Amino acid sequence: MRLLADDLRDTLRAARKKYNMGRALAAPQIGAPVRVVLVEIGKFRATMVNPEITDVGSEDFHVWDDCFSFPNLLVRVTRAYRATLRYTDMKGKVVTMELEGPMAELLQHELDHLDGILALDQPSGLDPFAYKAEWEKSHKPSERYGPPRPREV
């Protein structure tokens, strides 16, 4: 498991340099058919084994999602604004995290990778695809995340 975690870390850092983006990487993205996600955001670093969303809040939000699987494209998707995540860390400890906003979106995105799902498979709204470079010319980074709204039933 340590070798896989190191490979995920090295691959994420190399991809970050190449594409100037990236906060996490799922094992299937590097060809490892296991349920492991590596997250590196600022000082927060975690290797998550068998992560699962155990609960979601009652609000969703729209996100212009990017991904190493399609680095030049953005896809608007709908995600839960709040979620509870449970995973096992590299020491075997079960960890529970309450997630909100961009962190909730990120982990939902990564768990989708574990299930073979890409943002491309779940576009939301009218005109949900954009070339990243074009979108960035006319939008602020803060516009990637819409406001939370009650979930539509």
Active site residues: 110
CA distance 43 to 5: 17
CA distance 40 to 56: 23
Contact 38, 12 (CB under 8 A): yes
With left for phi above 0 and alpha for psi between -120 and 50, is residue 13 left, alpha or beta? alpha
CA distance 140 to 119: 21
